[in-house]
Amino acid sequence: MYFSKEHVARHQLDSFNHFLTHNLQKVVNEQKVIETDIDARGKSREPVWVELGTITVEKPVVREADGSQGNLFPSEARLRNLTYAAPIYLTMTLMQGDARQEPFVANIGQLPVMVGSRKCNLWGLSDAERVAHGEDPLDPGGYFIINGTERVLMTLEDLASNKIMTEFTERYNERIYVAKVFSQYRGYRALVVVERNRKNLLEVSFPSVAGHLRFVDLMRGLGLVSDHDVVEAVSTDEEILTFMMQNLEESECDSVESGIMYVGKKLAPNQTRDYQKKRAEFVVDNYLLPHLNYLMPPNLKEEDEGYRQAVESVRLAKAHFLGRMAESCFDLVLQRRRIDDKDHYANKRLKLAGDLMEDLFRISLNRLTRDIKYQLERASMRHRDLSISTAVRADVLTERLLHPLATGNWVGGRTGVSQLLDRVDHMSVLSHLRRVISPLSRSQPHFEARDLHPTQWGRICPSETPEGPNCGLVKNFAQMVEISRGVDDENEVKRILYEMGVEQLKKEAA
């Protein structure tokens, strides 16, 4: 089994199949509705929105000049410089005020399909049938065909997100102890840093805040008011307690309100109090540890009842997370913990073809919804009847999906993500499909990152790496690598944890 031909590109296929079966719908569910500003535009207009339903992907087809359609096979796509892509259908329901129109299944564009994946026309075919369709039965698949060229999505290796990492940094010849987290939520990545300065004071910095915030005051703003709560969120350890005392002394706030205002003053100095408060809450909710925002129940709107409460509980979770960061920072100071090895493979996560397609599809769908919104609004301005079929322009999504695949310029400014499959010989094909690239810049030495790390045993091939500037940054999977996926349903994990006696975070009565 391990040495069967499916194994070579299995990670690519598995990842893409998972994207097709789960994540595609997940991305649609994230979007959920397309809201329009039609009610705000004119008088006596009802609000209009579109509800997004299930998404389905067909099998790859080719549309000829005479309008006929036929199944497309990879060999034909290669020979005729076609794109191996399948139409995507999305169920959409137009809502006008209380009136609900019939659900409409719209073709929203073409999704490039990985050769050999679940939606590939070769799926489930025998070797003989593959040969009949002009395909090499030994071809591993795992790549896309865009305008006739075979394109492989490179597996990207990145530092694990949402994980507390400790390290030293040198500033003015002084050692500064830092706990960092790359917090990631729906493609947005934010670096949150808690550091201990010379005077044992904790400082927090995160995107959109210039400079640092005092740890304790931020904690207060997040809802941990009493000194006891703040300290408890960090640690009950004696030594850490003394550090925390110093921090508490420096604190200038004594309530949630003043804590939030402290953040607001930093963010928008010389603005009105109302604006400062709004801005501070917005920033804290969106840019501070965004990965905890998954705790927000979906579909909860600002007007809804219980919204306030949900927001507060998320803030509380953030406060406790910051507390953990502070604790690990102090642990490092007290030498109870060593700096994290960034090259340890436990601290790495791989972004495979499916994850990349998910990122791409999210942005593209977003574009499409904006376009639909614009089309609906325009139609409404001209007093036409609104309909989904005229509002959906399939090219918008297709173009957005194809261009990054064809050029390798992925969303988020990454280049070289999709590469032309190296067909020099069979071995180079296999090697190319199993390549892993590191986002580290090749112009800097990065000696440690280029080293072969013992934790790569069994995961990354110890021998295969290019010579030259990319040495050690471009890697290849080991023969028997097995790529696991995160758990989709976290409730199960949570249930087990609670059964084991973990206490739930609750806001204690003040």
Partner 1 sequence: MPSPKRIGKIEFGLLSPKEIRKMSVRKIIWADTYDEDGYPYPQGLMDLNLGVIDPGLRCKTCDQKASDCPGHFGHIELAKPVIHVGYTRLIRKLLRATCRACGRLLLEAVEIERVIGTEEEATGDILKEKDIKKERLCPHCGEQQLKINFEKPTTFSEMWTEDGKKMEHKLTPADIRARLEKIPDDDLKLLGINPEVARPEWTILTVLPVPPVTMRPSIILENGQRSEDDLTHKLVDIIRINQRFKENQDAGAPHLIIEDLWELLQYHVTTYLDNEVAGCPPARHRSGRPLKTLSQRLKGKDGRFRGSLSGKRVNFSARTVISPDPNIGVTEVGVPLAVAREMTVPVRVTPFNLAEVKEYALNGPVRPTTTSPCGANYVIRPDNRRIRLSDQNLQATVDLVEPGWTVERQLRNGDIVLFNRQPSLHRMSIMAHRIRVMDGKTFRLNPAVCPPYNADFDGDEMNLHVPQTEEARAEAQILLSVQENILSPRFGGPIIGGIHDHVSGIFLLTHETHWFRKEMVLYLLMHHPMENLPEPGKVEDGVPYWSNKQIFSCILPTELNMVFRASSCESCDTCKKELCERDAYVKIFDGHLVAGTIDKKAIGAFDGQILHRVIRQYGMRRAADFIDDMTRLAIRSIMLDGFSFGIDDEDLPRTEQGQIRDVLETAASDVERRIKIFQDGQLEPMPGRTLDETLEMQIMQVLGKARDRTGEIAGRHLGLENSAVVMAVSGARGSMLNLTQMAGCIGQQSVRGERIIRGYDDRTLPHFRKGDRGSAAHGFIQNSYKSGLSPTEFFFHAIGGREGLVDTAVRTSQSGYLQRRMINALQDLKVAYDGTVRTTGGRIIQFRYGEDGTDPSKSSFGSPVDVKGIIESEIKEEV
Binding site for partner 1 (CB under 8 A): 341, 343-344, 443, 445, 447, 450-455, 457, 462-463, 465, 467-469, 471-472
Instruction: Write out the DSSP string of 145-187.
Output: EETTEEEEEPEEEEEPSS--EEEEEEETTEEEEEEEEEEEETT
The nearest distance, CB 348 to partner 1, in angstroms, is 14
In the complex with partner 1, the residue whose CB is nearer, 346 or 496, is 346
Cβ-based neighbours of 169, under 8 Å, separated by 6 or more = 175, 176, 178, 195
The nearest distance, CB 342 to partner 1, in angstroms, is 11
Size of the chain, expressed as the number of residues it contains: 510
In the complex with partner 1, the residue whose CB is nearer, 416 or 466, is 466
In the complex with partner 1, the residue whose CB is nearer, 11 or 450, is 450
In the complex with partner 1, the residue whose CB is nearer, 320 or 453, is 453
In the complex with partner 1, the residue whose CB is nearer, 131 or 480, is 480
**Looking at this protein, which amino acid is placed at residue 154?**
M
The nearest distance, CB 131 to partner 1, in angstroms, is 38
Burial 1-22 (b: 16+ CB within 10 A, else e): eeeeeebbbbbbbbbbbbbbee
The nearest distance, CB 401 to partner 1, in angstroms, is 19
What token pair was written down for 95? 């809502």
Contact call for residues 165 and 181 (beta carbons, < 8 A): yes
CA 321 to chain centre: 20
The nearest distance, CB 447 to partner 1, in angstroms, is 6
In the complex with partner 1, the residue whose CB is nearer, 3 or 447, is 447
What token pair was written down for 431? 């090697």
Backbone angles phi, psi at 256, to 5 degrees: -60, -45
The nearest distance, CB 458 to partner 1, in angstroms, is 9
Return the half-sphere exposure (C-beta side, CA atoms, 13 A cut-off) of residue 452. 14
The CB density around residue 494, as the number of other CB atoms within 10 Å, is: 12
In the complex with partner 1, the residue whose CB is nearer, 119 or 450, is 450
The nearest distance, CB 495 to partner 1, in angstroms, is 29
* Residue 360 β-bridge partners: none
Look at strands 85-96 and 99-100 and give their pairing: antiparallel
**Looking at this protein, which amino acid is placed at residue 162?**
N
The nearest distance, CB 354 to partner 1, in angstroms, is 28
What token pair was written down for 132? 């009949």
CA triple 319-324-327, angle to 5 deg: 125
In the complex with partner 1, the residue whose CB is nearer, 67 or 413, is 413
In the complex with partner 1, the residue whose CB is nearer, 196 or 453, is 453
Give the residue among 495, 496, 442 at the shortest CA–CA distance from 472: 442
The nearest distance, CB 454 to partner 1, in angstroms, is 3
The nearest distance, CB 411 to partner 1, in angstroms, is 14
Query: How far is the first Cα of the chain from the last one, in angstroms, to the nearest whole number?
Result: 60
In the complex with partner 1, the residue whose CB is nearer, 221 or 404, is 404
User: What gap in Å lies between CA 479 and CA 291, rounded to an integer?
Assistant: 34
